[in-house]
């Protein structure tokens, strides 16, 4: 019976992990190398993440520096950043690329905090959908006489506890990211 619950626990965990990755990619006014996580360049015919073709560092609070191991990749990295939705113009000095993160305006901070809340709400909906799928699965098991009524009730209670735990976790992530964005 615990194995049945574990499947839904893993799915809920992946939902939270996905939310964390989305939050890491949000630009919050200070330099965050994770904004580059989704960007890829053509490296010898293979799409390759930027963080695998060079060093990414944060020399100052609002600057991300990308130093490729192969200088010939500078143009490709610059092009990938320009065509992405990051919204920062890269500056290329011939050896490395620097991204200077501008201070966020009050309006942009509010927009971002709304986006954070929306992503959090979407994740909560996903968690609730997983719970619904789990309850349907357990009811089918009960119908097929694989679990008794008492076991069904226990499974549903455990699944609800998992759901509550993950929703509380998502709320904490939303609060933390909102604070980070609204902090000037």
As a whole number, mean pLDDT of residues 24-50 equals 78
Q: DSSP string covering 67-113, please?
A: EESSGGGHHHHHHHHHHSSS---EEE-SS-EEEEPPPPPHHHHHHHH
Whether residue 38 has pLDDT greater than 70: yes
> What band does 42 get if pLDDT is binned at 50, 70 and 90?
confident
Query: How large is the greatest C-alpha to C-alpha distance in the chain, in angstroms?
Result: 70
Return mean pLDDT, the chain.
Answer: 86
As a whole number, mean pLDDT of residues 105-109 equals 82
As a whole number, mean pLDDT of residues 48-76 equals 86
Distance separating alpha carbons of residues 84 and 75, to the nearest angstrom: 14
Encode pLDDT of 134-165 as tens digits.
999 999 998 998 888 998 899 999 999 999 99
> What band does 63 get if pLDDT is binned at 50, 70 and 90?
confident
Q: Percent of the chain scored above 90 by pLDDT? A: 32
Task: Give the pLDDT score at 167.
Answer: 95
Q: Percent of the chain scored above 70 by pLDDT? A: 96
Task: Give the pLDDT score at 120.
Answer: 93
Whether residue 1 has pLDDT greater than 70: no
Backbone angles phi, psi at 70, to 5 degrees: -115, 110
Higher pLDDT, 22 or 173: 173
Residue 125 in tokens: 């909906």
Whether residue 172 has pLDDT greater than 70: yes
Task: Give the pLDDT score at 102.
Answer: 77
Higher pLDDT, 163 or 111: 163
């Amino acid at each position: 019976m615990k194995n049945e619950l574990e499947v839904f626990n893993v799915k809920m965990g992946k939902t939270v992990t996905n939310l964390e990755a989305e939050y890491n990619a949000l630009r919050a006014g200070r330099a965050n190398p994770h904004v580059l996580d989704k960007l890829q360049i053509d490296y010898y015919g293979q799409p390759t993440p930027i963080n695998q073709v060079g060093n990414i560092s944060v020399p100052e609070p609002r600057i991300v520096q990308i130093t490729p191991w192969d200088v010939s990749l500078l143009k490709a990295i610059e092009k990938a950043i320009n065509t992405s939705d990051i919204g920062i113009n890269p500056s290329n000095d011939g050896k490395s690329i620097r991204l200077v993160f501008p201070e966020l305006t009050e309006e942009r901070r509010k927009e971002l905090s709304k986006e954070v809340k929306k992503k959090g709400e979407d994740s909560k909906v996903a968690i609730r959908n997983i719970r619904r799928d789990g309850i349907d699965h357990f009811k089918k098991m009960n119908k097929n006489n694989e679990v008794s009524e008492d076991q069904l009730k226990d499974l549903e209670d455990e699944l609800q506890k998992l759901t509550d735990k993950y929703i509380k976790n998502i709320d904490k992530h939303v609060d933390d990211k909102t604070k980070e964005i609204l902090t000037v």
